[in-house]
Each structure stands twice: as structure tokens, then as C-alpha cells.
Amino acid sequence: MRHERAPGLRLRPVPELGACLAYTPAAPRLHQLNATAWLILELVDGRDDAALLAAFATRTAPALSAGAARGVLEDGLAGLRASGLLRCVPPQGETSA
């Protein structure tokens, strides 16, 4: 599986606050992302979920073990999907139901 950013998503980094603002124009809303959610969104760039996990684990080591990184990433992806900032993309040749 793979994830992609919501269409039209606009990001405004605010590094001095360790945060990023995200705006979803399709369902107008402004979201304030913490550093972890911001990192996940930055890593969602077309790579599949296995590559996403590898990149996230590399960026968060040694603060997080590989297992902890997986859990944090899964929770982060779920939260970003629930907020409408990300969506799942089915593998090539499949369509979403």
C-alpha cells in the first residue's frame, strides 16, 4: 500500500515553533501539526509504505527503536488520514472501493 497527500494540501512550516500548518481546501480547515506528523507528511512522497517505514525509522533513530517507530508511524498515518490530510492509494491495477 501507499499513501498520498490530499489534493491541494498546502503546508506552511513554522520551524521556530516545531510545527507545521496544513490547510485542506477541499474541506476548508487549518491543522497544526506537531513535528512527528510534519515529518510523516514530508516523507509521503510517492514511496510505498515499506519504504516510508524505513525512512521514518532512519530519521527517528536512535530515539525510537524499530518497533516503536512502526507504532508511531502507524498511529501518525491513521491520524493524518482521519484528518483528511492523507489518503490510501491502492496498489497498481487495483481500484479503491
Summarised one tens digit per residue, pLDDT across range 34-65 is 999 999 999 999 899 999 999 999 999 999 99
- At residue 97, does pLDDT exceed 70? no
Residue span of the structural domain in which 44 resides: 2-84
**Separation CA 22–CA 13 (nearest Å):** 8
- At residue 95, does pLDDT exceed 60? no
**Separation CA 52–CA 16 (nearest Å):** 26
- Looking up cell 496544513 gives 22
- Total tally of structural domains belonging to the chain: 1
Q: Which uninterrupted H or E stretch holds 82?
A: helix 66-82
Q: Please give the grid coordinates belonging to residue 54.
A: 524505513
Q: Is residue 95 part of a domain?
A: no
- At residue 96, does pLDDT exceed 70? no
Q: Is residue 96 part of a domain?
A: no
Question: Residue 94: its pLDDT value, please?
Answer: 54
Question: Residue 82: its pLDDT value, please?
Answer: 96
Q: Is residue 97 part of a domain?
A: no
Q: Is residue 7 part of a domain?
A: yes
Q: Is residue 90 part of a domain?
A: no
Q: Is residue 78 part of a domain?
A: yes
**Separation CA 94–CA 60 (nearest Å):** 32
Question: Residue 18: its pLDDT value, please?
Answer: 86
**Separation CA 55–CA 38 (nearest Å):** 14
Judge if pTM exceeds 0.95.
no
Q: Is residue 8 part of a domain?
A: yes
Q: Is residue 6 part of a domain?
A: yes
- At residue 66, does pLDDT exceed 60? yes
Q: Please, is 31 exposed, middle or buried when counting C-beta atoms within 10 Å of its C-beta (0-12, 13-18, 19+)?
A: middle
Interval 60-73 mean pLDDT: 97
